[in-house]
Copies of this chain bind each other. A is one copy, B any other.
């Protein structure tokens, strides 16, 4: 989706206009933030970007594809490696939630959830993204196992469930105002269950 170069290019001619692609992505994000998911239409994005609809459809096959690229563009979540599983997880959650809270990513993500309920492609993309994040937190757990900090047979899905409970709250209330102490308590709650000595 929207690669920088097309290796299968058949012949010469005009290349993709990067300014146009950029303008479309910026406009899409702006429309989503200002008008919400209800006002997020391809027409509106094209108007705002001063682009033609065919140009959008040429590069993004669906609204979901556009949403997903917006979400992934702004995405840069810390994945600290402090040598301590509790600090790792707290740092990761803090980064993820502030990312949802302080950028447009939160509303983009919620729009993607909505889109996934009617577009199977969006659902698949979302599932893939979720899987990737699981492997991300899974690596933290693996590192902790290698350090002997965590038993080798623990289920890393517990962390996914923890994120899920926060994500659910974010989805229902559109708020995610947990302070660090609350976050740390929740993480410790999970970590208690996977510390070797507690088993």
Contacts and interface: CB of A to CB of B under 8 A. Distances in A.
A119 interface: yes
Q: In terms of DSSP, what is the predominant structure of the interface of chain A?
A: helix
A83 interface: no
Interface size bracket, A side: 20 to 34
B37 A117 contact: yes
Interface stretch (A42-50, A72-80, A86-94, A169-177): A169-177
Q: How many copies of this kind of chain does the complex include?
A: 2
A164 interface: yes
A169 B173 contact: no
Interface stretch (A52-60, A96-104, A106-114): A106-114
Interface in A126-168: 126-127, 130, 161-162, 164-168
Interface of A: 36-38, 110-111, 113-115, 117-119, 123, 126-127, 130, 161-162, 164-169, 171-174, 189, 193
